[in-house]
Amino acid sequence: MVLLSPSAAALRRLILICEEYASAHGLIYNVRKSELMVFQARGRKIEHVPPIKLNDVALLRVSSFKYLGHVVTEDMKDDNDIERERRAMAVRCNMLARRFSRCSTGVKIMLFKTYCQTLYTCNLWVSYTQRALSALRVQYNNSLRMLLGLPRHCSASEMFAHAHTDGFNAVLRKRIASLLRRVRDSPNTILRGLSDKFDCPIVRHWVRAHVHMTGDRLP
C-alpha cells in the first residue's frame, strides 16, 4: 500500500491510522520493507525532512522505489521506468529468439505481439528525455529484427508493414487512448471530471503525445 500526503504532519496522521487499524486486527507492518520518499518540486530540493516513524522505527528515505512494477522517483521523471521496460524487453526477446528460432514467421510475430508490445505502464509516462524513449524504441525495433532474423539496419517501417503489426509509436498511441477512455468511463466522478477538462495537465499531455506521435503539431 502507498500513503500520499502533502506534509510530514499529515503523513504521520495517516501512519497513526494504519497503526491503530493493524493493532485492532492483529496485524503488523514490516518496517524493513517500508520506505519514505519525498517528491521534489521543480527547482526546489527538500534536504531536511523530519523523522517519519512506523511502529517507533524511523523509515528509510529513498530516491526511488518500484510500485506494482512501475519505478517511481522523487523527481517525478520517467526515464528510470522506461529503462526498466527496455531491459525487460531485451531479456524477453533474447529468450524468445533462443527458444523459438525454428518456428514459423507467423508464430514469431505472434510471440512478439504477446511479449514485446505490452510496454507496461507506458501510458503513465509524462516526463522523460527523448534519449530514454529513443533507446526503448530502438530496442523494440531490434527485438522484431532478431526474432525474424533480419539485418540490423533494415527499414523498421517496412518490417512492421510486412509483419502486419504496430510500430513503437502506434503502440504508445493505443495505450494512451485506452487509458483515457477507461478514465472517462470510470464511475469515479473525480476522474471523469478531470478527463473531461481539456485544460487538465494530464489530458493535455495525452493529447500532445498522441498528436506528436502521428507527426502533426498542436499550435
Task: Give the whole-angstrom CA distance, residue 181 versus residue 195.
Answer: 9
Sign for the CA dihedral angle at 49, 51, 52, 57 comes to positive
Of 36, 62, 88, which residue sits at a domain end? Answer: 62
Quote the percentage of the chain above a pLDDT of 90: 64
Same domain, 15 and 87: no
Of 119, 135, 165, which residue sits at a domain end? Answer: 165
Residue 1 inside a domain? The answer is no
**Residue 218, pLDDT above cutoff 60:** no
Domain range enclosing 120 = 76-165
pLDDT score of 152: 87
pTM: 0.84
Task: Give the whole-angstrom CA distance, residue 186 versus residue 181.
Answer: 9
Helix extents (H) in 64-215: 79-99, 105-116, 130-148, 156-163, 168-184, 189-195, 201-213
Same domain, 161 and 134: yes
pLDDT digits (tens, 9 = 90+) for 138-175: 999 999 999 999 998 899 999 999 999 999 999 998 89
Domain count of the fold of the chain: 3
Distances from the Cα of 216 to the Cα of 38, 40, 99, angstroms: 37, 33, 41
Task: Give the whole-angstrom CA distance, residue 29 versus residue 46.
Answer: 27
pLDDT score of 219: 37
Same domain, 54 and 86: no
Residue 180 inside a domain? The answer is yes
Task: Give the whole-angstrom CA distance, residue 45 versus residue 76.
Answer: 12
Do residues 154 and 162 make contact, with C-beta atoms less than 8 angstroms apart? Answer: no
Residue 68 inside a domain? The answer is no
Residue 49 inside a domain? The answer is yes
Residue 69 inside a domain? The answer is no
All three cell numbers of 106: 507467423
What's the rounded mean pLDDT across residues 195-216?
69
Do residues 119 and 175 make contact, with C-beta atoms less than 8 angstroms apart? Answer: yes
Do residues 64 and 80 make contact, with C-beta atoms less than 8 angstroms apart? Answer: yes
pLDDT score of 144: 95
